[in-house]
Chains A and B, each alone.
Chain A
């Protein structure tokens, strides 16, 4: 009996070892209570499944191990420690909140494992990572905050040049009173430039227990902007639009800039012709085969359509990583870094993703956002014109 037990144990260990040798482990972290992160995680798994079905990478299967960082810095660090020391992952992936990523920087630098990051827009993270060569292991896909601000300023400049009826002289920002809103207010003033007249006012986000936007809307009405931007969170979207309608506030451009939108916001008549910032819109499916392929595959796998740009971004990240591992012949750090540097990936987001130096780090992926508009219940891309799927509706018609 004892002999049988020992034999079985040896066989099991051999099998486990064999399995471990045939697997490349990708360790990812996201706040899984957030819908955008859930979609990112699912999209990453979709990419892994597709790659494995096609034979894997360098003869091995990919294994995605996801740990919930709960949107908390300390939990993010714990997630990283677990992925590295317990799960013994080969590469790191994912990320969403800047605060969590910032907390993880010391540990990321300590281990120096090749990391493809999907989140973290704040340049605080970039400054924490520091310049090359100390941060060369880190490949950042999401645009930094200053990238985003500059792209919006360029976008509005290009739109006004192409569509002479679009005239923007006065910009009003309604911003939530926390760090996200305040940094948006400071960013707009510094990045949009001197050609505009600015005003702004803060509000308490519904996410923090607020429920009334009358103060900011009245201030905006008094200012009379051409472009009204609100920077808050998803729960603010519809109530703000409802209150704007009730107060008869209808600027030529009404634009929302939350990190994510409510799932069914597009179905509200009030959202018609509202603009937003983002990296992807489902309207791109009509123009871009990669977007359509990803969208349909996601829908088939999970029964629902993706709503957040984090889904195609995360999907792209896995394919980028897989291609680099294939090129490098494995996960050896220096070879993998060299292979990632040569990335040219045609993504479902529309652009071809490459890595180039940003203000601080050496490996920055996407450098801009897009300007979107809801038209007929579907989000369409207005700018950049290379990816645009429609022309802008300007001025915004009366609230429906």
Chain B
């Protein structure tokens, strides 16, 4: 019996991926040869950004709402973890599980009480709603606990390794792991589970999903709760390395929003790559004396450039 030979023709997108991957590898080697710590800290920072942004991308991709209180949910989770550590003696890496569950329930309540009612409202109203939620959360924490920053002093976060003359912290790779677990886990959830497939269908076409019998509201509630639960995990991790205070979440909401906008709606893989580009660029610039003060600006330059390129491409198409 003659076997049909399958001819694999390289597509344009796979060529692009190959080129991009090769370029990325060259850049990574160049950075490593210049200053290994830049590659290390760039990856770690990328992991932090990605792990925080991925839950926002999930909500935007399925529920089609930009959650401008995203960072504030993380902040609340961090405070819960702090109290779990201080009052119950739980290490944050242990407390993150119950905190995540509590945050999921909280997220569900917030969805039912507020988000659900604004799903058919104009997008501006949705933005104002979530923005207001964020302010309510941060101000509530401020009133309860003042603006003083709180820390946990944990031995394991100062773990380090030495390569040649360079010593660097290794704990922050936990954020890289978190980002990969979130991205991989969500991919599996959305493509392999019944609830995930239903959520994906709702995200692509809510009306069509409703017609075939999928409970759209239930899918939205589940996804929103899942997103808040994931950011709850990140809140606990965040506390292990950073000080917390009522407005700590705000800058991360902004960065997550920019990363999600850069990657495209619901594009979790894009968020990973975007975070990598930004993390490396920021850390690289802080290691160049003349460019140190510009490292914050590179974030917005890359995002603006990406959005402009995409707009030009769409126009041509």
Contacts and interface: CB of A to CB of B under 8 A. Distances in A.
A264 B150 contact: yes
Contact of A35 (B147, B254, B283): B147
Interface string B144-186: 0011111101000111101000011111000000000000000
A14 B232 CA distance: 58
Residue of B151, B159, B168, B287 ringed by the most chain A CB atoms within 10 A: B151
A211 interface: yes
Interface in A233-275: 233-239, 242-243, 245-248, 260, 262-265, 267-270
A212 interface: yes
A267 B248 contact: no
A238 B286 contact: no
B184 to A, nearest CB: 24
A230 to B, nearest CB: 14
A38 B160 contact: no
A35 B150 CA distance: 11
Contact of A202 (B146, B157, B292): B292
A216 to B, nearest CB: 7
A167 interface: no
B41 A234 contact: no
Contacts of B286: 203, 212, 214-216
B255 A209 contact: yes
Contacts of A204: 295-296
Given A204-B295, A246-B167, A214 B283 contact: yes
A246 B159 contact: yes
B205 interface: no
Interface residues of B, number: 45
A269 B250 contact: no
Interface string B278-289: 000011001101
B314 interface: no
B146 A33 contact: yes
Interface in B216-255: 241-246, 248, 250-252, 254-255
Nearest to B151: A238
Interface in A165-217: 177, 201-204, 206-209, 211-212, 214-216
Interface in B258-296: 282-283, 286-287, 289, 292-293, 295-296
A309 interface: no
Contact of B150 (A34, A218, A248, A262): A262
B167 A248 contact: yes
B70 to A, nearest CB: 13
Nearest to B44: A212
A219 interface: yes
B148 A35 contact: yes
B193 interface: no
Counting chain A residues whose Cβ lies within 8 A of the other chain, the interface size class is: 35 or more
B243 A246 contact: no
Contacts of A35: 146-148
B213 to A, nearest CB: 44
B283 A215 contact: yes
Nearest to A246: B169
A233 B149 CA distance: 9
A219 B289 contact: yes
A399 interface: yes
A175 to B, nearest CB: 11
A134 to B, nearest CB: 34
Contacts of A236: 243
B142 interface: yes
B140 to A, nearest CB: 12
A207 B246 CA distance: 10
Contacts of A202: 292-293
B37 interface: yes
B312 to A, nearest CB: 30
Contact of B160 (A218, A233, A245, A269): A245
Contact of B252 (A33, A209, A242): A209
B48 interface: yes
Interface string B281-317: 0110011010011011000000000000000000000
Q: Please name the 9 residue pairs, one residue from A and one from B, whose CB atoms are nearest each other, closest first.
A: A209-B251, A215-B286, A246-B169, A35-B148, A235-B243, A268-B153, A248-B167, A246-B160, A33-B147
Given A202-B293, A243-B169, A247-B167, 9 more contacts: A35-B148, A177-B293, A214-B41, A215-B292, A218-B287, A242-B157, A246-B167, A247-B160, A264-B151
22 contacts: A33-B146, A33-B246, A177-B293, A208-B251, A209-B250, A209-B255, A211-B241, A211-B242, A212-B286, A214-B283, A215-B292, A235-B149, A235-B242, A235-B248, A236-B243, A239-B241, A243-B169, A246-B170, A262-B151, A264-B151, A268-B153, A270-B158
